[in-house]
Amino acid sequence: MRLWWNQPRMAELPEIDFTLEYPYTRTTGPIIGPFLTGLRDGRILGTRVGDRVVCPPVEYDPATGATIGPEHLVEVGPAGTVDAWTWVAEPTSKHPFDHPFAFAQIKLDGADTTMLHAVDAGSIEKMTTGMRVVVRYHDDGLGTITDVHFVPGDVPPAMPRPAAAGDADPEPVAITEHLIGVRIREPLQPHRRRFLQGLSVGRILGQRSPADGKIHVPSRGYDAINRVPMTEADDVEVADRGTVTSFTEITPVQYHGQTETEPYIRCSILLDGADTTIGGIDIRDIPIDEFRVGLRLQMIWNDAVGRGEVRFDDVDNRSYGLTEAVYERWEPTGEPDVDPELVKEHNF
Amino acid sequence: MARPCAVVGIGQTQYKRRRDDLSLDGLVREAALRALDDAQITFADIDAIVLGKAPDALEGVIMPELSLADALGAVGKPIHRVHTAGSVGASTAISAAVLVESGRYDTVLTVTYEKQSEGNATWALSGGKSGGQGAGGTFAPWIREYIRRSQAPEHIGWMVAVKDRRNALKNPYAHLHLEDISIETVRESPMLWDPLHFLESCPSSDGAAAMVMCAQDKVSRSPHPPAWVLGHAKRTEFSSFPGRDTVKPQAGVDCAAALYREVGITDPRRQIDVAELYVPFSWYEPMWLEGHLIAEEGEGWKMTDEGATALTGDFPVNCSGGVLSSNPIGASGMIRCLEAANQVRGTAGDYQVDGAKVALGHAYGGAAQYFAMWIVSSEQQPEFN
Amino acid sequence: MATPEDRAPEDIAIVAVAQTEAHARYDGPEVVLIMEVVNRLLAEADLERGDVGFTIAGSCDYLGGMPFAFVSNVDGMGAWPPVYESHLEMDGAWALFEAWLRLQMGDIDVAMVVGSGKSSPCNAREVFHLQADPYVVAPLGLDPDAMAGIQARALIDAGRATEADIADVVVRSRAAAMTNPNAQVAGEVSVDSLLAAPYDMAPLRAHDVSPKADGAAGVLLARRDRARELTDTPVWITGLDHRIESHHAGLRDLTDSASTRLAATGAGVAAGPIDVAELHVTHAHEEIILRDALGLDETTVVNPSGGPLAGDPVMATGLTRIIEVARRIAGGDADRGVGHAASGAALQQNLLCVMEGGG
């Protein structure tokens, strides 16, 4: 479908760089709630389990699974002894400090078990097994385990307990928030790279299975039915027009990261010459009551393709969809509809 | 040969939009302790634990068998974790049955859960990106294709939505108790994914479900009647390929056929007394009646229309209220399996089907590509004729 | 040593194994890695896909940052016509556990097990701290490598190991890996040169932590009679058990592996000599703890492949340990051995698979 260009210029393709991120809200229950409330307000709680005090506290006897209620909570600390430790020379983005520090097992005074936490010791030379450490409460406690850290020494926190200092009695911690982000960085897979580069110069590439000749668009780089990988030698070009095989009108559900607000159509199209459908195609300018399975559509490439100026800002290795970076819209061709019965096996 | 296995303990949490009174530990324990209590045993009697839930990203806890080991009394024992998308609850029940049937473990605790309120399922289904179409958006075109093929009238979906929610009024654990639901309220509720209205879709729930299963020689230890696991089957197919029948997936047909063959069922509609089918969107009731060989093609919606699937019908479906009334995703499939067991144990309370002897529990997942089913009975070797 | 006559009809053997190279970064789809393993397994046993009665996989969605990633993995496993299949969000070794039990029911005679993972797109530390307690540990970002550092410190403080002992584990791993074509790192290094490297999670150094890899591994299992049809060298699984311990590190003795001891009893490790052991050692000091818990002495060859310190295809690593032992028994280099898999921080959960040859 070489439509507009004289000297095709393939787009630069960035590496995939994506963060799977969500701000989780954890309800804390009858034991963790008071424990986190304590950290926010300036006290550390453990649980009495038989003749031992366990800290951090647990909702059940770790040995038998028997339930242990909040009436067994007792205060421990604020200082304790390091049982074992490691020195984190190069903190990750998930660690509580951006400078080197220690993670340690700390046996707080009054507790019989250790708690894992961070010790801001300055240098590894300051760390020894058996050393004394003491808690430091943060001014801006949110009701999470990161409301505190530990420092070498035995001196109780100098600042007053936030709860003691505050006027109002704050609500106990019922929910603790944890923003989790996993950053994914990877190259585009080879078949995906060629597919996107093809798009950038106005060509839609599929792959012909060496096993059964079926043409996969967009290809996933393999033919699952016959369990064969596909290579560049299997690349073929297909048409930029096809038949609607399936569609949904999406009423966007709001969630973290969702930017859609208005209803729109999402459809699958069987391109002429292809044996698999391209799914996830967004349709914004054909009325829903005119949209139907069997409708013939033509892709209208955008000007960037003609000018050789396609930019792919957000790429991924997922196998569905044609990126909006190359098309303006899809337009009915005016051809008669294809009988839905003929495309019913493509309604994914 | 496979050793007989029975369900002797069942535990469910209260299902709710947000269980704000519990941690994850507390949630799974509420179900597990109730199952142990029902079986009149303790954690000390458990030989192995099988945990199931949907993706880790729903709560942001990776491999939660690790952080829930203590809460489930698993310290010093084997515990493993199943994940087969929406079908996982039933897959987990089957995995636990295999532990007993293999002859290796006498008493197994199995627990499934989801605390959907910690995260967001549509976010997870979209892979954390904008523009997610949600499960309903995936299934809607297939439902429309079912309607096109079967010529079913549009009120069938509304009827299922009303029936399951009315059943849920009899189930104290159910998340949704919609006292005033009617055909009109379903029809007038917002259209989410044509033809699915808001009230034809499952809720998002927190909850956990658990069972104790044991070998034959341990059954008498528990006071309540057992539900014998007569058979189970699982089948999987690819999510998309040319020629795939998304309306009546071959994996679903094969799964049902394998199960009926194993159990000795030749006429499922007559020989099965009650079924708990995984129906997260109303139209899946008639679709699975056909997709699992209970009704002939094009006849499933007629069973719904004639009231055959009502609590008082000849083939009651989802007497508990089903996924349409409670949906802690990872547990939803196990709830189907344990509600089937409840029916044959006679412990289904106000939604008990009188004299139920043989019951089907079912779940599906992914792009309607994972299937897991089991049949339980009050009798170890019922006669089918 | 058991003789062929000692095998019962319900005994189960490994009849084929396959693994990909431990790629530092594989740029193609994970599915193709799986496909490669599945195709090699079927070719080795001369089976069609439909001959496999039960298939089960192990993987971790989070590695690729994609909830439901395991659904696409089915593309590599083969599922048309539909198959009887399941999935654990665990190392493939636990998938083998379920397959081994499933075959004992008797109605199916061949099962396939696959473990796979592509960890190169993520920083494993930034992912796996999410295994920890979600309330009191995970928000600290306390990852398994940091937990391993704490465990190594406890071991040293208890007088059970020195930093040189830990380095020696790495020296032996690298040397052994020189004959392993799938290894990621191999070569001759000295304890002194290793000890000259800076600390990473002190007292551990970067080389004490396994290099994460992209890869897949798989096995075919069969019941006795079918196993003997499919191979001349069946490797019998004579014991398989796994156990977990508390996730509260403060409630455990980190210098021991109580769950390994329990699993060893359950799997019958001590019922005969162990010629070879492949241990899921992702941090060098763990080998010292595991040898002790398993009661291994110098007569056992430990990690002849180099072990995970020579290449760690996360989610296939434990299954690969079983494969490495099976390969040596099938090849006649060993009569009896044990494969070990671990999950969680500081060896929280451990699986042992005891295997024997003998036809």
- Domain CATH for B28: 3.40.47.10
Closest CA to B371 of B259, B231, B235: B235
My answer on whether C188 and C148 are in the same domain is yes
Q: Do C101 and C186 reside in the same domain of the chain? A: no
Indicate if C244 and C131 belong to the same structural domain: yes
C251: nearest CA partner in chain A: A113
Domains contained in chain A, CATH given: 29-173 (2.40.50.840), 188-346 (no CATH)
Q: Which chains touch B (3 or more CB pairs under 8 A)?
A: A, C
The β-bridge relationship of strands C85-88 and C110-118 is unpaired
- Give the residue from C200, C235, C270 where a domain finishes: C235
Exposed, middle or buried, B373 (CB in 10 Å: 0-12/13-18/19+)?
Answer: buried
To probe the interface with B, which of C60, C89, C125 has the most B CB atoms within 10 Å? C89
Residues of chain C contacting residue A180, judged by C-beta atoms under 8 Å apart: 130
Q: What is the pLDDT of residues A61-77, one digit of tens each?
A: 987 888 999 999 999 99
Is the pLDDT score of A164 beyond 80?
Answer: no
Yes or no: say if B128 and A20 are a contact pair by the CB < 8 Å rule: yes
**A168 pLDDT above the threshold of 80:** no
Alpha carbon of C291: minimum distance to chain B alpha carbons (Å): 19
To the nearest whole Å, the CA of A169 is away from the closest chain C CA by 23
Distance from CA of C127 to the nearest CA of A (A): 6
Contact C157 A84 (CB under 8 A): yes
Q: Give chain A positions within 8 Å (CB) of B137.
A: 248, 250, 266
Nearest to B205 by CA among B179, B177, B180, B184: B177
Which domain covers residue C48, as residue numbers? 4-122+212-235
Q: C151 and C89 share a domain?
A: no
Domain membership of residue B13 (yes or no) is yes
User: Do C114 and C77 form a contact (C-beta atoms < 8 A)?
Assistant: yes
In a mutational test of the C interface, the residue from B75, B92, B245 whose CB has the highest number of chain C CBs within 10 Å is B75
pLDDT (tens place) for every residue of chain B, 385 residues total = 589 999 999 999 999 999 999 999 999 999 999 999 999 999 999 999 999 999 999 999 999 999 999 999 999 999 999 999 999 999 999 999 999 999 999 999 999 999 999 998 888 887 777 777 778 888 999 999 999 999 999 999 999 999 999 999 999 999 999 999 999 999 999 999 989 999 999 999 999 999 999 999 999 999 999 999 999 999 999 998 888 999 999 999 999 999 999 999 999 999 999 999 999 999 999 999 999 999 999 999 999 999 999 999 999 999 999 999 999 999 999 999 999 999 999 999 999 999 999 999 999 999 999 999 999 999 999 999 8
Q: Is there a single domain that holds both residue C181 and residue C45?
A: no
**pLDDT on residue A2:** 45
Provide CB contacts within 8 A for A231, sequence distance 6+.
none
Residues C85 and C194 both lie in one domain? no
The number of helix segments (H) and strand segments (E) in chain C equals 11, 12
Taking CA–CA distances from A62, the nearest residue in chain B reads B70
Q: Is a pLDDT exceeding 70 seen at residue A7?
A: no
pLDDT given for residue A280 in this prediction: 86
Q: Choose the closest CB to B22 out of A27, A247, A344.
A: A27
Q: How many domains, in total, are found in chain C?
A: 2
Look at chain B and report how many structural domains it folds into: 1
Whether residues C156 and C133 share a domain: the answer is: yes
C190 with C258, same domain: the answer is yes
**A–C: how many Cβ contacts below 8 A?**
180
Q: Do C140 and A58 touch (CB under 8 A)?
A: no
**pLDDT computed for residue C259 by the predictor:** 98
Q: Whole domain around residue B82: which residue ranges?
A: 5-121+204-221
CATH code for the domain of C242: 3.40.47.10
Mean pLDDT within A138-166: 81
Contact residues, chain C, for A58 at CB < 8 Å: 248
Residues C334 and C255 in one domain: yes
Q: Which of A96, A86, A90 is nearest to A147 (CA)?
A: A96
Name the A residues in 60-119 with CB < 8 Å from any B CB. 60, 62-65, 67
C66, C155: one domain:
no
**CA–CA separation, A115 and A137 (whole Å):** 16
> Does residue A177 register a pLDDT over 70?
yes
Asked if the C-beta of A62 comes within 8 angstroms of chain C's C-beta atoms, the answer is yes
Q: What is the DSSP string of A275-336?
A: SS-EEEEEE-SS-GGG--TT-EEEEEE-HHHHHT----SS--S------TTTEEEEEE--PP
Ranges of residues in chain C whose predicted pLDDT is under 50 = none
Regarding whether C84 and C142 lie in a shared domain, the answer is no
* ipTM for the assembly: 0.97
Q: Is A180 on the interface with B (CB under 8 A)?
A: yes
pLDDT of residue A1: 43
Same domain, C331 and C204: yes
